[in-house]
Each structure stands twice: as C-alpha cells, then as structure tokens.
C-alpha cells in the first residue's frame, strides 16, 4: 500500500513538474513573425505644363512671301492653237469691254483665237469687216496707213465677236458677229456633240453601217420658233416656242441626210421641206 502510494505521489509530482514547465513556456515572450514590407510604387509625377513659345515674327530682312498670282500672270487659254504670246493687259481690257457691252459675266466669254494681223486704215479693218494680209493689200492698192496689231475672236454662247488692235494699246470692236459652226461649235458645245452622236447612230442603224462612216457635213445652231423645229408636217399643229437647237447634215455613202434638233432630240427633215429661221 505504501509502495503504491509512493508511486502515485511520484507520478503526481512528475505531472506537476511537466505542467509548470509548459506554463512557463507559454508565458515566455513569443518571437514575432516578420512580415515583409511591400515596396510602394511611387506615384506618377505631376505633369509640368510646357509653356508655348510663340513663333517669332519675321524681321524686315526675312525673305518675303510671294504675292498671290495676279490677273496679268494667269495663262491665257484659247480654243484654237496660237503661235503668239498674247499681251495679258490688252486681253483683259478686251474681255472686259465685251462683257460690259453684252452685260454678261466674264466667265461666259471664251477666247477662240488670237493672231497677228496688219490693218490698212485707222479703223483697224473693222469698216471693211475683212482682214487683209500685206501682200493682198499691196496687190490691190497702195495703202497710206499700215498698222500692226492683233485679231481677237471671242465666243459668247454660239456667237463669235471680233476685236482688232493696234499693237497692245488701242483696240476696236468690230460690229460683225456670226454663229460658230462645224468643228469649232463641237469644240465648245457638248450638247452639239451629243446631238451629232445621236444622228450618226440613227443613220448607222438604218443603213447597217459603222458610225465612223457617217460623216459630218454641217452643224449650225438655230433658234426654232415652234415645236416643229423648222420641219412642219402637213395636218399637224405646233406650239409657238423659242427652242435652241441645231441643223445637222451628215453624209453616208453618196447621200446627205438633214436633221433638226432641240437640245435633246433630233428629227429627220428632208432638205426641200426645211423652214429655217432668218
């Protein structure tokens, strides 16, 4: 019994010793766990505004900017090829004179041709309405006046106007005007080109030919007075109207064919039945 008690006491003592050691270990200061510090990304630097430096003004020694092109330097364009260099100031004065006389805009005037000419009177050939070259003039008479200058042909719509000049100083407007026809008309009038193509296709289809074999003989602008277009038919009534159009004659083989047109259509008109405006 005593032995057992002693044993029990020994166990109890050992248990107490172990318990006290454990409590001592728990009460000791715990070693802190080092948490690594995050490296902060530095904030974006505040943008510094860059001052705007004004462009320096050129001083008086700087190269000047070329001036805007003046009217006198604008190229003069003619419908027909010219071998001379026209005087810009003379050309501009003539164009303005015609524009004022017709009360029209300068943009409506086209220059057909400019050519050198010789006149044998003070009116620069506008009285006779003809241009004589030197050989023809001396063959017929001995002129007392000989003036070198230029002959201008200007176009407004389908009407040509003529001006004669003495050198590049003085000019005279000639009173004669005429409607342009043929190839010149086609060069400046796209509607005339379209109507001619219509006529050529019609004849080519009728005769089973290529349109190239339908050749232009004549094309003249007209102002028709009624819807018959100058080709009235029996037992037909027509409305009075002012209709711009053309008389077109083409040839195919040995025959000629006449057509009258407005700006969109063309009708066959036998030559003997035509009624042309005066």
Q: What is the full DSSP assignment across 183-218?
A: HHHHHH-HHHHHHHHHHHHHHHHHHT--GGGSEEEE
The answer to whether residues 97 and 114 belong to one domain is yes
Say if residue 116 is in the same domain as residue 203: no
Is the residue at 243 inside a domain?
Answer: yes
Residues in the chain: 278
Alpha-carbon gap, residue 245 to 216, rounded angstroms: 16
Indicate whether 174 and 81 sit together in one domain.
yes
Residues 150 and 175 in one domain: yes
Residue 235 DSSP one-character state? T
In a shared domain, residues 244 and 213:
yes
Domain of 155 in residue numbering reads as 74-180
Question: Do 165 and 190 belong to one domain?
Answer: no
Structure tokens at 91: 């050309």
State whether 159 and 204 are in the same domain. no
The answer to which of 103-112, 122-131, 141-150, 248-257 has the lowest mean pLDDT is 122-131
Pair 214, 160 in one domain = no
Q: Is 185 within 8 Å of 215 (Cβ atoms)? A: no
Q: pLDDT class for 13, splitting at 50, 70, 90?
A: low
Does a structural domain hold residue 199?
Answer: yes
Q: What is the pLDDT, as a whole number, of residue 77?
A: 87
Give the whole-angstrom CA distance, residue 113 versus residue 219: 20
Answering whether pTM is above 0.75, one says no
Last residue of a domain, one of 180, 198, 229: 180
Last residue of a domain, one of 149, 180, 211: 180
Residue 11 lies in a domain: no
pLDDT band (50, 70, 90) for residue 76 = confident
Whether 267 is in a domain gets the answer yes
Asked if residue 266 belongs to a domain, the reply is yes
Does pLDDT of 259 surpass 50?
yes
Output the six-digit token pair for 84. 């001379």
32: left (phi over 0), alpha (psi -120 to 50) or beta: beta
Mean pLDDT is lowest, of 73-77, 103-107, 147-151, for 73-77
- 158 part of a folded domain: yes
138 and 221 housed in the same domain: no
In a domain, residue 22? The reply is no
Q: Which tokens belong to 267?
A: 């009708």
Residue 16 inside a domain? The answer is: no
Q: Which of 180, 212, 247 is the last residue of a domain?
A: 180
Buried b (16+ CB within 10 A) or exposed e, 59-98: eeeeeeeeeeeeeeeeeeebeeebeeebbbebbeebbeeb
Residue 223 has, within 13 A of its CA and on its CB side, a CA count of 8
Do residues 166 and 258 both lie within one domain?
A: no
Write the pLDDT tens digit of every residue in 120-164: 988 898 875 444 444 454 445 445 688 999 999 999 887 899 999
Band the pLDDT of 16: cuts 50, 70, 90: low
Do 152 and 216 fall into the same domain?
no
How many structural domains is the chain composed of? Answer: 2
pLDDT of residue 33: 46
Residues 156 and 190 in one domain: no
pLDDT band at 14 (very low <50, low <70, confident <90, very high): low
């Amino acid at each position: 019994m005593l032995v057992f008690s002693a044993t029990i006491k020994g166990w109890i003592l050992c248990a107490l010793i172990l318990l006290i050691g454990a409590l001592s270990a728990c009460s000791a200061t715990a070693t802190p766990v080092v948490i690594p510090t995050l490296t902060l990304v530095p904030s974006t630097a505040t943008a510094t505004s860059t001052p705007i430096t004004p462009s320096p003004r050129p001083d008086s020694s700087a190269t000047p900017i070329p001036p805007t092109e003046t009217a006198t330097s604008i190229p003069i364009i003619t419908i027909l090829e010219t071998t001379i260099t026209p005087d810009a100031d003379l050309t501009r004065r003539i164009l303005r004179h015609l524009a004022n006389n017709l009360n029209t805009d300068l943009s409506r005037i086209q220059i057909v041709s400019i050519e050198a000419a010789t006149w044998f009177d003070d009116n620069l050939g506008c009285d006779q309405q003809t241009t004589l070259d030197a050989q023809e003039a001396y063959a017929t008479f001995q002129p007392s006046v000989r003036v070198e200058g230029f002959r201008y042909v200007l176009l407004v719509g389908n009407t040509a106007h003529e001006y004669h000049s003495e050198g590049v100083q003085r000019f005279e407007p000639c009173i004669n005007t005429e409607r342009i026809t043929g190839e010149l008309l086609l060069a400046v009038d796209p509607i005339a080109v379209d109507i001619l193509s219509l006529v050529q296709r019609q004849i080519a289809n009728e005769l089973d030919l290529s349109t190239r074999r339908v050749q232009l003989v004549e094309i003249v602008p007209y102002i028709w007075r009624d819807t018959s277009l100058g080709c009235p038919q029996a037992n037909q009534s027509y409305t009075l109207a002012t209709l711009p159009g053309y008389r077109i004659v083409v040839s195919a083989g040995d025959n000629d064919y006449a057509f009258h047109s407005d700006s969109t259509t063309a009708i066959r008109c036998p030559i003997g039945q035509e009624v042309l405006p005066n």
